[in-house]
Amino acid sequence: METVNWKVEGMTCSNCALSISKYLEKEGMQNVKVNPIDGDVQFEIIEAAESNKEKLAKGIASLGYKVQSPENTAHTQGAGSQPMNKYLRYLLLCLPFTLVLMLHMIPGLHIHWLMNPWVQLALCIPVFLIGMSFFGRSAWKSLQSGVPNMNVLIALGGSAAFLYSLIGTLMGQGEQYLFYETSATIFTLVFLGYYLEDVSVGSTQSALNKLAKSQKVMANMIAFDDQHHEVIFPIENIHLKHGDLILIKTGEQVPADCKILWGEASVSEAIVTGESLPLEKKPKDIIIGGSLVVEGTVKALVVAEANQSVLANIINLVKKAQGDKPPVQLMADKISAVFVPAVLVIALATFAINYFILGEFTPSLMRSIAVLVIACPCAMGLATPAAIAVGLGRAARNGVLFRNAKSLEAFKTIQQVVFDKTGTLTTGNFVVDGYHFEKVDEAEFKQLVFSMEKFSNHPIAKCIANEWKTNQPIRWAKIEEVKGRGMRALTREGDEYWAGSYEIASRLTTDSSHNVYITRNGQLIGWINVVDEVRPEAGEVIDYLRKKKVKTILLSGDRKDKCLQLGNTLGMDEIMYEKSPEQKLGILEQLNQTAPTAMVGDGINDAPALAKASIGISISEASQVALQTADVVLMNHGLKNLPLALGLGRHTLLTIKQNLFWAFAYNIVAIPVAAVGLLTPAFGALVMGLSDVVLAINSVRLFVKKVI
């Protein structure tokens, strides 16, 4: 199974996306996602032969759309000057003819030659041909696919006005048959509406486009000539490979994910994590592609190519989420699928009823044309994608990644949030808080402990090993890490040492309050206490949730006294301690049955619980493990953006509901108004185009709207 990502041109509304989606599903493709906002199409194909892809591309072309080749897509994205917007091009071609045709509509202005029907026909023909080349072709393709789109309505309305006028001209019926300006105005104003919609909807992608632009930068590549002299030359970062050496200087953007080999630098990762303060980086540290070197110069080794970098993964994740449809959109999709046929029926009924009441053909026809051009299924189709594009874009810009759009909607019902302790409410960075030794001196005690703990990956062991590092460690005859107990070491003389949990000392002392116990040949020779620093933002986040009447629960595998101390300090509603991963999973199941529950964890140890929660939220670096574990990833290494994630989820859903309300209300009001003759077809075409702009503007408000 291979995932295919295409960019498809020509989509103008959700019906277009629906046509492509139905075609791909009919051809056996799985997990099809079509985003009408930016033309991204993603699906899974079983037999990924090029011939199969070509067949699918031709099938999409037969529907009236065009699959861009990867080369063209890359060229378009990397080009300095973008081609003129196609709707603007059509608009500029049609506008001069339409304006001349409209001159005779100005009160008091009598241009006798313009009243000649053959002159009006000559002026209208270019606009009609341009309009039908776009709307007519698109309409015909959509009818063939079985999912008629909005262009069916536009093509019918414009054609009806043109043909009615043409018949009148050929029959010499005079001015009462001249509606060429209506046909021209319909096509021209819809092109204007499409252009405004394209621009305004495109602005919903600005945050994601900002991230995408950060992917393409120049790099200073380091190579060596025949004399092994260092040579530095510029290269596009898309050509960098794993293992290449690069030089990054002050003020330059990091061209790829890489590891520092030489030098130190202050690096701002704001573009990726949302964290504004620069981080100090030293040799062996990883720096993320797209981040900025504020000060310093480093030589680094590329560890990920451009298409596999953290930034690329972020962009792909957001694009994938934008293609998702939350449950609230399902009703709109069902209505959109039958909207065009319903409007055609309403237009016919409008003509029949008006002709029966008025007894006049011309006014009845104009009213039915007005119904055709003012109806707007686009609004219903764009209501969700536009809001989601902005919500996900703002989230990504601030270091919050949603794996799918469903998580946005799920936030509205969250009534309780479960927190892991270590690495979530605390930093996970331990420091030695106190220690005691007996039967050995202090230097020997520290040497023993360091020599054992340096072999462990446990955070507490690492902390002790870093603080008590010595250049003369003991060489053990054997050393092993016993799961759940600690480190066991044997000397060449046969002495046995342990550094571990209370379990190894339970027969030697009743004091279980220490973190690490040290024994020699079954005798206790000391203990060590460490403390885990509480995240500075943890208290504010818990207070925020309390004000929002969201229950907070601490769920940890740590000891009772430490959990109670932390939970009470932060003012959490419920504290659960000494729980295994299996127990955590069971607790999450029970909590989910009582109320929708979010779980915040590190994305690795808490993976089962994160998966079981209504929403799993991971606090993690932008690693593949974190991206694959949780529904939401907070990339700023902390909790501070949790309120933003909750707020964006709720306000994005609110914006979607506002958009859907406007879309339905617009059509419910506009169609009857047009049917009774209160709107001309030309004005209806203008209002129809602006209806989508209203949705886009309302969605763009999410960029600046206060959500916390």
pLDDT band at 464 (very low <50, low <70, confident <90, very high): very high
C-alpha separations of 453 from 253, 430, 480, 521 in Å: 39, 14, 10, 18
Residues 529, 540 share a domain: no
CA distance 401 to 618: 10
CB atoms closer than 10 angstroms to residue 3: 13
Higher pLDDT, 373 or 306: 373
Residues 516, 472 share a domain: yes
- Asked whether the beta carbons of 19 and 63 are under 8 A apart, the reply is yes
Say whether pLDDT at 330 is over 70.
no
Q: Using one digit for the tens of pLDDT, what is the confidence trace for 159-201?
A: 988 988 898 888 876 666 678 888 888 888 888 877 877 776 6
Instruction: Choose among 309, 314, 246: nearest CA to 274.
Output: 314
For 498-517, give the secondary structure using H, E and C.
Answer: EEECHHHHCCCCCCCCCCEE
- Asked whether the beta carbons of 662 and 693 are under 8 A apart, the reply is no
**Lowest mean pLDDT across 521-525, 531-535, 540-544, 642-646:** 531-535
Q: Using one digit for the tens of pLDDT, what is the confidence trace for 489-515?
A: 999 999 999 999 888 999 999 888 888
Residues 490, 406 share a domain: no
Read out DSSP for 212-245?
A: HHTT--EEEEEEE-TT--EEEEEEEGGG--TT-E
For 392-429, give the secondary structure using H, E and C.
Answer: HHHHHHCCEEECCCHHHHHHHHCCEEEECHHHHHEEEE
Instruction: Choose among 567, 607, 554: nearest CA to 585.
Output: 607
pLDDT band at 441 (very low <50, low <70, confident <90, very high): very high
pLDDT band at 96 (very low <50, low <70, confident <90, very high): very high
Residues 413, 288 share a domain: no
706 in any annotated domain: no
Residues 470, 503 share a domain: yes
Confidence (pLDDT) at 212: 66
- Asked whether the beta carbons of 436 and 515 are under 8 A apart, the reply is no
Instruction: Choose among 377, 379, 383: nearest CA to 329.
Output: 383
Q: Using one digit for the tens of pLDDT, what is the confidence trace for 54-79?
A: 888 888 888 878 888 654 444 444 44
Last residue of a domain, one of 38, 54, 78: 78
316 in any annotated domain: no
Residues 90, 202 share a domain: yes
Residues 585, 493 share a domain: no
pTM of the model: 0.68
Say whether pLDDT at 205 is over 70.
no
CATH number of the domain that 587 lies in? 3.40.50.1000
CATH number of the domain that 250 lies in? 2.70.150.10
Known catalytic residues are 420
Q: What is the pairing mode between strands 574-576 and 551-555?
A: parallel
Residue 136: DSSP 8-state: I
Number of domains in the chain: 5
Between helix 150-170 and helix 137-145 the angle, nearest 10°, is: 130
Say whether pLDDT at 624 is over 70.
no
C-alpha separations of 706 from 294, 585, 643, 653 in Å: 30, 35, 11, 14
Higher pLDDT, 132 or 422: 132
Confidence (pLDDT) at 359: 87
Say whether pLDDT at 622 is over 60.
no
Q: Using one digit for the tens of pLDDT, what is the confidence trace for 215-234?
A: 677 889 998 888 778 888 88
708 in any annotated domain: no
- Asked whether the beta carbons of 66 and 32 are under 8 A apart, the reply is no
CA distance 478 to 488: 8
Residue 508: DSSP 8-state: T
Q: Using one digit for the tens of pLDDT, what is the confidence trace for 361-370?
A: 888 998 999 8
Structure tokens at 685: 């075409």
Continuous H helices in 403-514: 406-410, 442-453, 459-467
Structure-derived torsion over alpha carbons of residues 17, 20, 22, 28, reported in degrees to the nearest 10: -140
235 in any annotated domain: yes
Residues 201, 103 share a domain: yes
395 in any annotated domain: no
161 in any annotated domain: yes
Across residues 236-252, what is the average pLDDT? 88
Q: Hey, CA dihedral for 13, 19, 21, 22, is it positive or negative?
A: positive
Last residue of a domain, one of 256, 290, 311: 311
Q: Identity (one letter) of the amino acid at 558?
A: D
Residues 565, 418 share a domain: yes
Residues 358, 480 share a domain: no
Instruction: Choose among 317, 287, 276: nearest CA to 633.
Output: 317
Percentage of the residues of the chain whose pLDDT score is greater than 90? 24
CA distance 101 to 127: 11
**Secondary element (H or E) of residue 523:** strand 523-534
Across residues 247-258, what is the average pLDDT? 89
What angle is formed at CA 264 by the lines to CA 261 and CA 269, rounded to 5 degrees?
A: 100
Residues 541, 640 share a domain: yes
694 in any annotated domain: yes
Say whether pLDDT at 579 is over 60.
yes
C-alpha separations of 85 from 132, 154, 194 in Å: 18, 20, 10
Q: Using one digit for the tens of pLDDT, what is the confidence trace for 629-676?
A: 678 888 766 788 899 888 888 898 888 888 888 888 888 888 999 999
Contacts of 660 (CB under 8 A, 6+ apart): 328, 332, 380, 383, 384
Confidence (pLDDT) at 692: 75
CATH number of the domain that 487 lies in? 3.40.1110.10
156 in any annotated domain: yes
pLDDT band at 80 (very low <50, low <70, confident <90, very high): very low
Last residue of a domain, one of 78, 98, 115: 78
Q: What is the pairing mode between strands 298-302 and 265-268?
A: unpaired
Confidence (pLDDT) at 71: 47
Determine the 3-state secondary structure of 191 from DSSP. helix
Q: Which residue range(s) make up the domain with 637?
A: 400-426+535-650
C-alpha separations of 314 from 367, 402, 596, 627 in Å: 50, 10, 27, 9
pLDDT band at 389 (very low <50, low <70, confident <90, very high): confident
Say whether pLDDT at 626 is over 90.
no
Residues 303, 327 share a domain: no
